[in-house]
Amino acid sequence: MILNVTADTSFLKQLPNAPGVYRFFASDGTLLYVGKATSLFKRVRSYFRRDNSISPRISLMIAKIASIEVTVTENEASALILENNLIKNARPKYNIVFRDDKSYPYIRVSQHQFPLIEYTRHKPDKLASYFGPYPNSYAAKEALELLQRLFKLRTCADPVFANRSRPCMLYQIERCSAPCVGKISENEYSRLIKNAVTFLSGNYTELVNKMSSEMYLAAELLNFEEASGLRDKIAAIKQVQDRQIISSSSEAVNGDLVSFVEHGGVVFIYLIMLRNGIYIGDKHFEIKVIDEINTVEAFFEEYYALRQDTTTVYCDFSIDERFIKFMLEAKNIKIQEVKANKRINELFKMAQTNLQIIIENHGKDNQYGKGVARLSQLLGRDINRIECYDTSHHHGSSAVTSMVVYEGGLINNNLYRKFNLPATINGNDLLALSTVLNRRLVNKTLPTPEVILVDGGKTQLEETKNILEQLGFHDKIKAIAIYKGENRRPELDRVIINTNLELNYHDEPQLFKLLQTLRDEAHRFAITGHRKKQVNKMKHSRLEDIPGIGVQKRKALMAFFGSSQLVAAATVEDLCQVTGIGPELAVQIYSYFH
């Protein structure tokens, strides 16, 4: 449906009250903006209200709208997919896309009688509590290790916890209180969890005062060993406190610090997160400069529409008063220039130093430009997107194929994909490649690459070409292959461009730099996915899938045999020797594994 915009806004009455995607066009047909909506009627109408909920950037865009095209979708999820495709392919002027440089780790405390504490990069469980983000995995794991030393909380997965019959090694080295076998009461464990949450929340003074009282009480009762342990824990907490607090508790800073540099047509933004005076993380973004648009204001508007982790943003640069008013009224974000604070000013200097390093590294992203240009010459076509595939498995199990992507001048990890493969693949790499390419190429939501790179020799290349032929992509996508040289030395790698052209590193070093990086990234990403799949598989006890086997019988089986593998290998007679396992149940267990 196409609507012509009129001054009396009567065209808005034609909008359907349904989910979908809307597109704003200028009078010359230029696509200005693409958006999705649960209700097209409510969302599009909101742009034409006369109040303070519209930012200066959007006001500028609205003045240029001549027509609106809407597409109704089945649901909001379909609208999101369509919106993403339109933005990727058309790159509308007013859709600001900022690239986050990394995802951030958290520490998760589960909802359980004896809660689990663990490292994670995801926040899917609404019942659990999450603390962070931490600036990197090292910082998160260091904090987790300290928590284990201080509070002895369990870190094992729930299936492992449920099936333990004796304490693990962590209990022996005093890193866990062994709630799995009743070495600690639920009330005492709950007290440790509360202390850990207080620590993770940054309330160090409160925790130190509480533990100091416990230490003095233990000393009065002549329990000097307990008092000594508490003293050491207090010292460790104070050490963390001294390292992380950047302001006194009376004026602890809660907010984000934002600094930026514009260079080479790109705005580089550095963001530092402070919570309760604690430096909890930093991240950077890169946004292409667009004429007539204040890129930093556009970043503020879209970033804080998605995240509401803070209500205050400090800047080391000036912001238009009209935009400050808009952010406060529309998004409840207070933007202000930083006050005279020595420590915060030091952080801003650090941000600028890091921005200069990021800019230098950004320039290195263009190192692939020559390689892409040369590949374009060899294949006789312009290249914007290259996809590289690799498969990882363990003797055929937990197989995962990775897809890494070069697009628009960058090897962009936001575009990577993993494909889980069925057990029927059974280590057959050619079948894995065929399965994944068939799944990938029938997916119309992803843009079609100009080149597919496979890790392997002529056999893998021919298989890829056959699939492209079968699916009708032989004239749209070129397939090439890269394979390891003698003794797996990178300088001896070979690239097969076609039947008549095979290159070595010394022929085309710039091209090899691009293709080897893609191949190595695909290999790394595949192994990461495979290992995660293996870990998840190990976390799940096969005994849980057997009908009639509850917690107590699982514990009895594990205590008797030592592992689920040995249970699987046991005879019916062996199984009958386990307490609580009768002949009928023994046959059922044996039949499950055989």
Q: What is the pLDDT of residues 557-573, one digit of tens each?
A: 877 877 777 888 888 88
pLDDT category at 452 given cuts 50, 70, 90 is very high
Residue 282 tokens, joined = 């930093």
Tens-digit pLDDT profile for residues 245-283: 555 444 567 788 999 998 877 889 998 888 767 776 678
Question: Partners of 33 in the beta sheet?
Answer: 24
List C-alpha distances in Å: 59 to 241, 361, 496, 559: 46, 35, 53, 69
Beta strand ranges found along 318-384 (DSSP E): 334-337
Peptide bond into 509 cis (omega under 30): no
- Residue with the two structure tokens 């005879």: 571
User: Is the confidence at residue 80, as pLDDT, over 70?
Assistant: no
* Intrachain domains 2-95 and 250-365 with the same fold: no
Give the per-residue pLDDT at 531. 65
User: What's the pTM?
Assistant: 0.46
145-160 b/e with 16+ CB inside 10 Å = b?
ebbbebbbbbbbbebb
Q: How far is CA 107 from the centre of its chain?
A: 14
204-236 b/e with 16+ CB inside 10 Å = b?
beebbeebeeebeebeeeeeeeebeebbebbee
pLDDT category at 136 given cuts 50, 70, 90 is low
More confident residue, 533 or 287: 287
What's the topology of domain 250-365?
Nucleotidyltransferase; domain 5 (3.30.420)
More confident residue, 132 or 10: 10
Tens-digit pLDDT profile for residues 203-237: 777 778 888 888 888 787 887 877 887 787 888 77
What's the topology of domain 542-593?
DNA polymerase; domain 1 (1.10.150)
What's the topology of domain 381-537?
Nucleotidyltransferase; domain 5 (3.30.420)
Those residues with Cβ within 8 angstroms of residue 272's Cβ, 6 or more apart along the chain or in another chain: 256, 257, 258, 279, 281, 282, 347, 351
Name the architecture of domain 2-95.
3-Layer(aba) Sandwich (3.40)
pLDDT category at 533 given cuts 50, 70, 90 is low
Tens-digit pLDDT profile for residues 468-518: 998 888 888 999 998 887 766 777 888 898 878 888 887 788 888 888 888
pLDDT category at 179 given cuts 50, 70, 90 is very high
Give the per-residue pLDDT at 81. 67
Helix %, strand %, coil % for the chain, to 5?
Answer: 50, 20, 30
pLDDT category at 538 given cuts 50, 70, 90 is very low
Give the per-residue pLDDT at 104. 61
User: Is the confidence at residue 394, as pLDDT, over 70?
Assistant: no
Q: Mean pLDDT, to the nearest integer, of 56-65?
A: 82
Cα distance between the two ends of the chain: 60
List C-alpha distances in Å: 127 to 92, 112, 241, 301, 443: 38, 10, 29, 30, 34
Strands 451-455 and 385-394: parallel
Q: Break the chain into its structural domains and give their ranges.
A: 2-95, 106-244, 250-365, 381-537, 542-593
